[in-house]
Amino acid sequence: MSETLSTRNKAKMMGLDSAKLPKGSILVHLLALSVMGFVVIAHGKLPEVSTGQNDSPNAPPAFYILGDSSVDCGDNTLFYPLVHSSLSLYSCNGSSDASLIPHLLAGKMGMPSILPFYSQQNGSIDGILRGLNFGSAQATIMNPSGQSYQSINQQLRQVFDSMQLLQLQLSQDVALHFIRSSIFYLSFGKDDYINLYLRNASSSSGAEKPKNSDQEFSHILANQMIHVIRNLYDMNVRRIICMGILPLGCTPRMLLDGHNSSSTNSNSEPGDEGDDDVGSGCVEEINEQVSEYNKVLHQQIGKLHAELPDAQIVFCDVYQGITKIINNPKRYGFEEVKSACCGLGMYGAAIGCLSKEMACQQDSSHVWWDLYNPTKGVNSLLADSAWNGFPLSRICRPTTIQELLSTSTTTAAAAAAAPVSHPPT
């Protein structure tokens, strides 16, 4: 009982009631804090808190990343390597997180390399002050029915533990300002449609198709993301980048599944797109589901702006950006918009990227790297557009990432001096 009360008192110091956290998190917090505390003691002293004064004058003190395979190449899958390997051993160009959007953005911010949570720096105050990538390949918004992959709630617990350590090891005012001035990046949802909706219920993931309509499922996912944003707000987070889902129906594996399905149902000839969206070559039904999620999430974030005026939340529509590239590939320097650079079979999607030797000679000409992930070339264009609105127009709203940094410094400082407010649950 005393341990539970102690944890709750620490949570209240952070402005977060532990009773609001996902079930089963109390013991996780106690264990994590014990390990983290030992590392800090062994380190001997606390490092100086970064002021964000590096290559970019508006750089945040730290950059924290949460997400799925759109933010992690497999380095953060400590407990789930087999499931990840069954899809692609190399889900990024050269198996490097540096090819992913958040890490490209970190470079633009003048931030150092963002380390995975499950790295050697895990548990040290130094690692937390530099920023962490809590993301894990195949992570989902919905809680999985099995233990084969991670959920957003698990990452949220890790964030809570890390922010709580800052509060315990730094002065309360310094930690509060640090957290409110830092940037938190969220990118989820793709693997929910892959693992929980579009796969057969008898797959090895143990996931079951939700007993909801397509539209209801999209709304459930979007509402859960809003709940996560509220939880982060309760942890005193004030600057959030929330990414939408890419056009999943245009990915090589979905094109393959769509072709196989239409061939089975209508005996269409090889190469016939069947019920696919012939204009874009994408599976329209899947893209409609993803578009609904993006639309609802964007609308709900708009409502949060009025409800939480001291929070700055940017929504980035990667669906819009990739669609522009697919519809006009040559304009942006691409040639192949359907087949994966690394994979085997039709569309390079029958087998994932299991070896670097499987990769194509020029990945820069491909939109897709493997079954579901874009190449570094596409991610670079998306990162550029998220940063300053070019060349794919302003995919981030209501501001670009660059504008978020340049206009948020004084706002975040003012917010840090304001009383902590709590949104309704």
The CATH number assigned to the domain holding 285 equals 3.40.50.1110
In a domain, 298, yes or no: yes
d(CA 83, CA 89): 10
Mean pLDDT of 83-91: 58
In a domain, 223, yes or no: yes
d(CA 228, CA 223): 9
**CB neighbour list of residue 205: distance below 8 Å, 6 or more residues apart:** 83, 144, 146, 148, 149, 195, 199
Band the pLDDT of 268: cuts 50, 70, 90. Answer: very low
223, amino acid identity: N
- pLDDT of res. 244: 99
- pLDDT of res. 328: 96
In a domain, 371, yes or no: yes
Band the pLDDT of 281: cuts 50, 70, 90. Answer: confident
Across 141-150, 233-242, 273-282, the highest mean pLDDT is recorded for: 233-242
Question: What number of other Cβ atoms are within 10 A of residue 15's Cβ?
Answer: 18
In a domain, 174, yes or no: yes
DSSP code at position 113: P
Q: What is the mean pLDDT of the chain?
A: 78
In a domain, 151, yes or no: yes
Which tokens go with 320? Answer: 């819009």
Range of the domain at 237: 53-417
Across 46-55, 123-132, 155-164, 411-420, the highest mean pLDDT is recorded for: 155-164
What pTM does this model have?
0.81
pLDDT for 84 beyond 80:
no
d(CA 122, CA 36): 8
More confident residue, 135 or 415: 135
Degrees, nearest 5: CA angle 300-421-169? 110
d(CA 95, CA 212): 36
**CB neighbour list of residue 45: distance below 8 Å, 6 or more residues apart:** none
pLDDT for 113 beyond 50:
yes
pLDDT for 194 beyond 70:
yes
Structural domain tally of the chain? 1
In a domain, 191, yes or no: yes
Which tokens go with 45? Answer: 């002293």
395, amino acid identity: I
pLDDT for 22 beyond 60:
no
Mean pLDDT of 387-411: 87
- pLDDT of res. 308: 96
Average the pLDDT over each of 5-14, 88-97, 256-265 and give the range with the smallest value: 5-14
In a domain, 403, yes or no: yes
Q: Using alpha carbons, list the distances in angstroms from residue 308 to 236, 244, 377, 379, 409.
A: 12, 21, 36, 31, 17
DSSP code at position 348: G
**Backbone torsions φ then ψ of 18, nearest 5 degrees:** -65, -20
Which tokens go with 387? Answer: 């940063």
**Backbone torsions φ then ψ of 72, nearest 5 degrees:** -140, 135
Mean pLDDT of 344-370: 93
In a domain, 248, yes or no: yes
Mean pLDDT of 183-212: 70
